[in-house]
Structure 1
């Protein structure tokens, strides 16, 4: 059963940076930090909302003259992601967007308030221990 459908194309904003690895000479660290905004509509209805997903990926690139590896291959160093405007209480492994109508009729949201577009902070690894969190804007 389809609960939501995509509206338009995803919008993407972010940056990719390259820096020398401070721990090993001859290696570089590439960091990709992107936010994806997906417009969704409730199936069979006219209410729309947004789901915001931020993903951060760090990979190592090594000088193959110094390190053993395969050309064209990267080593994943770290990855993290956050999903905003998701009813994480369901725990079914799917993204369950929150619509305005749900906020009026459902249980109150718990957890800290945060701006999903704020790129001055890192991605939370532990989520919000107090609940799903409350987004200040979508």
Structure 2
């Protein structure tokens, strides 16, 4: 994943990466019970690393991930806060996702989305998202969204 490294190189940008890998033990680690999770991959203010190996198992707890992200982003000292969502599926709960998006807007957080083979994000963020259907579109689409956001 090169985009966090590219953004981290820009002075004044604090990069954080959160994922919802959706397949980790929820039973204390014995492997019998698995469920959706939110995972901080890179916390704001921490040194950039290349350990972005994330697996998935079919859940899309987008709302829960947004609530977690809001808790991390709101207290940051930066005057401007931007969240970019990348997702390849419908959220497990549109209502939870919508509630989190509304709360983010109340805090003045700019939220953008990129759907990968899924139109769901365009239903949640109709004016701040787009969908791609080919991996070759990923980098141009992501940098297009971020360029538009950062040049505001």
**TM norm. shorter chain > 0.5:** no
Q: Name the structure where helix makes up a greater proportion of residues.
A: 2
Q: Name the structure where strand makes up a greater proportion of residues.
A: 1
**Higher RCO structure, 1 or 2 (CA under 8 Å, sep 6+):** 1
Look at both structures and tell me which one has the larger radius of gyration over its CA atoms. 1
TM-score by length of 1: 0.29
TM-score by length of 2: 0.27
